Amino acid sequence: MKVGVVGAGRIGGGIGQRLGRDGHEVMFSFSRDAGKLEGLAAGVEGGRAGTAREAVEFADAVVFAVPWRTIDAALAEMGPLEDKVVVDTTNQFGAGPGEISAGLSAVEHNARRMPGAALAKAFNTLTAGFQAEVAAGAPGEVAMFYAAEVETADAVADTLVAACGFAPVRIGGWRQAALIEAPRRPGAVYGEAYRPVAAERIAAAALTGDLEAAGRLADELKQAEGER
């Protein structure tokens, strides 16, 4: 797959490297340091560096990995997203692109700002350091939750998450996405690591629509103390 990474920091840089090693074609973009983009591109076979707009134009799938406060600037540089799949890794920390309306998940808020794009939310629940550790270990031993409303985005998220060493587990669409979004809290999976079997049970509960029951199960099945 051709992947355009927008935001080449701890999350975007790491994911891009892993995807490149897995055989995907990756273009890195959106750093204030062009040398950093070139360095990341040089780290993977066929890696490229470009502007955010070039990365979007190049991509079948865009990995969106910028700080919440930088979303406006990133979207302005990215240009039209019609018919693109965007994998949103962002967490809503600090000031950002407008107030999230009550009842909306952060990814739905972002989706409304990316007309024509098919979004998935992934890679946001676990720290960049932990994601690197998992990628260095045996594949598929730790689950990564993602959310997607439409099949195209679902399939892309599933593929990219697996390419980064995780067992992909779809928690549901935008209604269920709240469970995987910040902050870390009881009744949610954000910041927690799960084995695939446990994650599948939580997702099955969430998909019934009973998010409280899914949250209770998520608390029961938490693996260990310590933020991931």
Ligand X SMILES: NC(=O)c1ccc[n+]([C@@H]2O[C@H](COP(=O)([O-])OP(=O)(O)OC[C@H]3O[C@@H](n4cnc5c(N)ncnc54)[C@H](OP(=O)(O)O)[C@@H]3O)[C@@H](O)[C@H]2O)c1
The site for ligand X (CB under 6 A) is made up of 7-12, 30-33, 36, 65-68, 70, 73, 89-91, 93, 124, 127-128
Name residue, tokens 């919440």: 68
CB-nearer residue toward ligand X: 51 or 127: 127
Look up residue 191 and give its DSSP letter. T
CB-nearer residue toward ligand X: 126 or 205: 126
Q: Which residue of this chain has its Cβ atom nearest to ligand X in the complex?
A: 9
Whole-number minimum distance, CB 70 to ligand X, in Å?
Answer: 4
Task: Report yes or no: 111 and 117 within 8 Å, Cβ to Cβ.
Answer: yes
Whole-number minimum distance, CB 224 to ligand X, in Å?
Answer: 18
Task: Report yes or no: 143 and 166 within 8 Å, Cβ to Cβ.
Answer: yes
CB-nearer residue toward ligand X: 7 or 205: 7
CB-nearer residue toward ligand X: 1 or 182: 182
Whole-number minimum distance, CB 49 to ligand X, in Å?
Answer: 11
How do strand 85-88 and strand 118-121 relate by DSSP bridges?
parallel
CA 185 to chain centre: 19
- Rounded to whole angstroms, the Cα distance separating 190 from 218 reads 10
